[in-house]
Chain A
Amino acid sequence: MFNQTANITINEKVDVLVLNESSILLSLTPDYLAKNSQSLVNRNELMRTYSCSIVDSKPDWLIDCVLSYDTVLIEYDCLSVDHYAVLAYLKNLNIIANKQFGKTHKIEVCYELDCEQYASDMGLVSAHTSLRTSDIVALHTSQLYSVFAIGFMPNFAYLGEVNDKLSMPRLPNPRLKVPAGAVAIADNQTAIYPSVSPGGWHILGYAPSFIVKCMSPVFSSGDKVQFKEISPPTFNQRLDEYSSQKV
């Protein structure tokens, strides 16, 4: 009465859990995880090959396919298929290697803003980590980040993993309004706020391409992101450029 349906193994790596009449959840098998102590980046990449291959093969019963870190939700039209049909599909699915999917986004960030319009927590991060601003910027821009998941709001990409030295807790008092374009960190993750929203992450800088909304790149899970430091004059120049390109 209390027990859910057991996981169904489709291969040595992936398990399927039936969630309800129209969706299943894919995750890595405990056996596989026990034998291969995988980092979150690797687990995410492995599950991404599944989500990308599924979306790529466009079965007509597919309603949505959502990757979050190391699990994938498949929602299907349960009037045309049931979970047996989806399992059979998964067993025969041609998993396409990682490299064929995903873009690398180079995103310019100005780390030197701190004003009423563009609030910054650089001082707090510096105090918490005992790092100089220049070191923080170097650590934040040196890493090629993976898009682990997209959620919280449209196009909000959870990027990881941030260097351990930059690991930050959330703000004790979350901001009611984080400006669009804010680049912020929390735990071992970083993100860019695509539009104004409440938020409790520490803000390091601002990405001009996200401030002029129609210029922002669209993320997909598994994309890569590299941040590039720009100076305040370049930041202002970019804002002007982007605004003039706005249709």
Chain B
Amino acid sequence: MIEIQKVGLQAQWTDGGRRLAQSHGYSQSGAVDWLSFHLANALCKNPLNFPAIEVMAGQFRFIAKFNGYLCVTGTDCHFTINNKKTIINQIYTIKNKDVIDLGAVKKGLFNYVTFAFNNKRCIPQLPTFKSSVCATKRESIGGLTSDGRGLKQGDVIQFIETDDKRIQSQYGFSSVPPNQISTTAFGEDLKRMVSTIISKQRSNKLPVVFSYQANKFENIQKARFLASEYTISASLDKMGVRLDGPSIKYSSAKLTSQPIALGAIQIPSNGMPIIMRNERQTIGGYPIIGVVSRLGLTRLSQMTPGLKISFESQSHESALCEYRLIQNQLLRIMQR
């Protein structure tokens, strides 16, 4: 088990998100930076959607009360184990009573912490809602105490042994035997694979698939949308990110509320785009100009207010290719 000692802005268990929840008005939730989340699991040889702790803006400390492995991914932060400086995107052996501390983040927002055990497969003992361990404060649902709150000081999370079959049925992915983890096997090949994946995230260009009402926006508006730089505003959370920049006009008729896909870019009447994220509401009446690709969303996830982004048009086919390519690389890391 682990015992939480300190929580900064927010830390909570996350995974691939809820299933068939939006049809009842619940948000999808799930890890905001899916790439870092999947990478942490791949390094720990867990199924890619295995529960992990999502830490927002660092300042998170806990004591391990087990022997096993741990991996931290995401944004660069001051990360120590027993006060010894340690680096992210690595696997570490953890002993009982080790203190793991994620200090201040240098930039960016999210870190992911995953766990693995010696010769057995264990899952954190957490209630699930709609096939997910995610907590959403706004909805007062999910998480350790099923009321949507994040982790807090004093929380204790037990791990229970389970088998691959159960994990496969719950998380969809097949997994490799857990006893093959080796911290010494972190060779040059693996380092290269990890840095290839991470480098895909380092860009401020967000690919967008023009869809929804895109055809109802005038071309001049779409040209402005693609040619302009937008600033991440202070109004940013897991529901969405509001942007500041040149205003986009929508002059067609009023819309009936429509379901909102992950990454949808709403254009409200003031013309400032809003990118909808994991905890978005399920339906909305604002026109949508397009949808940010998965890769674009992972780029956006680590951006803080004041940073500048721009959009580039992409077909849904090439967005899918890009996503599948990254997933293949993650599987190679998992199966190394």
Contacts and interface: CB of A to CB of B under 8 A. Distances in A.
Interface of A: 1-5, 17-23, 25, 40, 51, 55, 62-73, 75, 77-79, 82-83, 149-158, 195, 218-221
B25 interface: yes
A135 B215 CA distance: 45
Contacts of B25: 150-157
A68 B21 CA distance: 14
B172 A77 contact: yes
Given A150-B23, A152-B25, A1 B259 contact: no
B19 A68 contact: no
Interface string B244-268: 0000000000001111111110000
Contact of A20 (B226, B291, B313): B291
A201 to B, nearest CB: 14
Contact of B261 (A1, A75, A195, A220): A75
B207 to A, nearest CB: 10
Contacts of B226: 1-2
Interface string B262-292: 1110000000000000000111100000111
Given A150-B282, A151-B282, A220-B24, A21 B259 contact: no
B198 interface: no
Contact of B19 (A64, A73, A149): A64
A77 B17 CA distance: 12
A5 B316 contact: yes
Interface in B127-158: 139-141
A79 to B, nearest CB: 6
Given A19-B291, A68-B283, A155-B24, A75 B262 contact: yes
Contacts of A55: 20, 23
Interface stretch (B50-58, B72-80, B96-104, B319-327): B319-327
Chain B interface main SS type: mixed
A40 B257 CA distance: 12
A195 B26 CA distance: 13
Contact of B20 (A5, A64, A149): A64
The CB with the most chain A CB atoms within 10 A, among B17, B25, B226, is that of B25
A5 B210 CA distance: 8
B184 interface: no
Given A2-B222, A66-B283, A77-B172, A20 B257 contact: no
Contact of B283 (A5, A17, A65, A149): A149
B12 interface: no
Contacts of B215: 3-4
B83 interface: no
A66 B210 contact: no
A151 B276 CA distance: 15
Contacts of A221: 23
Contacts of B327: 79
A75 B21 CA distance: 12
Contact of B320 (A4, A68, A78, A219): A78
A22 B294 contact: yes
A21 B283 contact: no
Contact of B263 (A4, A20, A73, A154): A20
A19 B212 contact: yes
Nearest to B19: A63
A74 to B, nearest CB: 9
Contact of A19 (B256, B261, B294, B315): B261
Contacts of B212: 4, 17, 19, 25
Contacts of B292: 20
Nearest to B312: A1
B125 interface: no
Contacts of A19: 209, 211-212, 261, 264, 291, 316
Contacts of B209: 4, 18-21
